[in-house]
A and B are shown apart, each in its own frame.
Chain A
């Protein structure tokens, strides 16, 4: 075979690392060269913090206790989920919009390498916007995200893994049904918003809705956050359930992605992404 002289052995660890790096590099330069997208990474989070911070100030002035911490904590953690999901889905959609998807699918890049690259970039973007929001919340309203304490780490991890699962589901749905359903990239996390009990305790939800909420990993995080910020401690068993649910979500999402890819190849839908 030709080509072996310029290529790393395709199944070697070095080649796999290089392919993942290729996805990261491509998305990084695409972001660096695109000021509107860079602004977007920080614009919406900033608006959210400022807006909810002002609402919190208003509620505090009317003697609603712990309103500031509960609202800002909820906004900051919700952004972790929402941004992570959207960033993963949008990175994929940019390949669709630029008619680049077929170029990517005929490289030796595997689905897992492609996802890994997108997750690395998405995580860096989410980390940037979360750091900015946390700084703003502290500078403007004196709320420190770190006041959540050591539980912050598992909280963020549960939310990010759930977001990845939703991002993969959004990608799979676009592959399965075509670019006409691309709004799912922005919508999907909001479908879970009422069940995640972001701004209110689970107990205010009607019984059947609570049952659904118990199957949403994020609901354990927001319940835990409220417990911590009102002087209690998080339910570690609840977080363990959330972690197990995350594993189930990711497994289902990957299964759905595999199914969508097989169906797309079977029905010629991948080829239509070039149109």
Chain B
């Protein structure tokens, strides 16, 4: 059976003034695949994610999602994608359930109430559903943002440091849940993280970025072998210090 490509990025370039943030990045993601983008701060990970999501326009190169160009098919494409990042928030005053309902509407979910109930159940948010978002701990807020990111059953889920604010126990359970729901639905995921154990556990393939360029690709074992080190953490240190 042919591998269905969810996303293809080709020769992506972006400069901000004199700084080259992304320089010739090319990779693709197949349905059901979990791909990690790793690299030190300023390597171009978030810029790459934001270009894929249409928040930043590339200087050159192409991005295709589900075989379509985002700029020309924005509504269709973005209805199949979702995004969560540790640096994003939601309006602070509305209750969790109200926020999720609003986002279910924004994604054009058929039965918002039912879908929100499913997400509350899935992310174990029952105790929080009637609380204002601003009164939640950062870990609880992250769970709500993850619930938001699953509302439309995205075919591609983009996660920028998804578990940065979670304690190890909750982080572990969230990783399990993301992998389990992705495996069940054939969802592809594109993840950035500075948690090497998380990346090792979740990602089928990892692209190491440095200076805006992909400098290494492979799974965790392949990368460790290629750099002659024990694990991904040491690969990261080697890439960051080169």
Contact = CB atoms under 8 A, between A and B. Distances in A.
Interface of A: 1-3, 5-8, 10-11, 14-15, 18-19, 21-23, 25-26, 29-30, 33-34, 94-95, 98-100, 102-110, 262, 265-268, 270-271, 274-275
Contacts of A11: 75-76
B150 to A, nearest CB: 10
A30 B54 contact: no
Nearest to B102: A26
B106 to A, nearest CB: 4
B110 A274 contact: no
A30 B90 CA distance: 11
Contacts of A103: 83, 88, 90, 103, 148
Contacts of B75: 10-11, 108, 110
B174 interface: no
Contacts of B220: none
B89 A104 contact: no
A178 to B, nearest CB: 14
B240 to A, nearest CB: 22
B115 interface: yes
B83 A29 contact: no
Nearest to B66: A1
B57 to A, nearest CB: 4
A33 B95 contact: yes
Interface of B: 14, 16, 21, 46-47, 50, 53-57, 66, 74-76, 78-83, 85, 87-95, 98-99, 101-112, 115, 132, 148, 152-155, 185-187
Nearest to A10: B79
Given A22-B105, A23-B106, A94 B153 contact: no
A100 B81 CA distance: 17
Given A8-B110, A30-B93, A103-B148, A3 B79 contact: yes
Contact of A99 (B54, B89, B94, B112): B89
Contacts of A33: 93-95, 98, 132
B220 to A, nearest CB: 26
Contact of A25 (B105, B110, B154): B105
A109 B81 CA distance: 12
Contacts of A26: 91, 94, 98-99, 102, 106
B91 A102 contact: no
Nearest to A5: B153
B88 A274 contact: yes
28 contacts: A2-B153, A2-B155, A6-B152, A7-B153, A8-B110, A15-B108, A22-B104, A23-B102, A23-B106, A26-B94, A33-B94, A33-B132, A34-B93, A99-B88, A100-B88, A100-B90, A100-B91, A102-B85, A105-B54, A106-B55, A107-B103, A108-B76, A265-B54, A266-B56, A266-B57, A268-B21, A270-B56, A275-B87
Contacts of A105: 54-55
Contacts of B47: 268, 271
A23 B50 CA distance: 23
A25 B80 contact: no
B79 to A, nearest CB: 4
B72 to A, nearest CB: 13
Given A29-B102, A98-B92, A274 B85 contact: yes
A37 B239 CA distance: 50
B94 to A, nearest CB: 4
Contacts of B79: 3, 7, 10, 15, 108
Nearest to B188: A2
A106 B82 contact: yes
Given A18-B108, A22-B106, A26-B102, A99 B155 contact: no
Central interface residue in B101, B110, B185, by most chain A CB within 10 Å? B110
A18 B105 contact: yes
A2 B89 CA distance: 26
A169 to B, nearest CB: 22
A2 B186 CA distance: 8
Contacts of B57: 262, 265-266
Central interface residue in B57, B83, B94, B132, by most chain A CB within 10 Å? B94
B98 A108 contact: no
A67 to B, nearest CB: 42
Given A98-B91, A268-B50, 16 more contacts: A2-B80, A8-B110, A15-B108, A19-B107, A26-B106, A29-B94, A29-B102, A100-B90, A102-B88, A103-B148, A105-B55, A106-B55, A108-B108, A110-B74, A270-B56, A271-B47
